[in-house]
Amino acid sequence: MKSLSSLARALAVPAIVVLVGCSTLQSGESIVKYEKGSKPLMTTAPVSGEYALYKSTDLEPMLKVFLEQGAPLGFQQSDAGEVIAVAGDKRMPVTSNDYAWRRR
């Protein structure tokens, strides 16, 4: 019985991650999001600090950058229709997924 209980616990963790979603396990506070098919949004860094770009399904950031308060932060659409993640003077094209900038 002990091994069955261990197996149940081992299977419960991935199930919880799927039900809760990866974004709640990503480090930091969500500042601005881009959802596939929606209009990209721009804002500014609310405070000076480290910001990280996450794909909605990833636990590790794609990009980390230090920004001063008021620096541009968010997502823009290029003239060619491509969505670009923006953080200060950094630019990174993003594919057709959901993304978020989070303050760490």
pLDDT > 80? residue 13: no
Give the pTM: 0.75
The model's pLDDT over 35-75, given as tens digits with 9 standing for 90+, comes to 998 999 999 999 999 999 999 889 999 999 999 999 999 99
Classify residue 82 by its DSSP letter: -
Query: What confidence score (pLDDT) does residue 7 get?
Result: 47
DSSP 54-73: EETT-SS-SEEEEE-TT-EE
User: Cα–Cα distance between 44 and 72 in angstroms, integer?
Assistant: 5
Of 63, 69, 76, the closest CA to residue 102 belongs to: 63
Query: What confidence score (pLDDT) does residue 54 get?
Result: 96
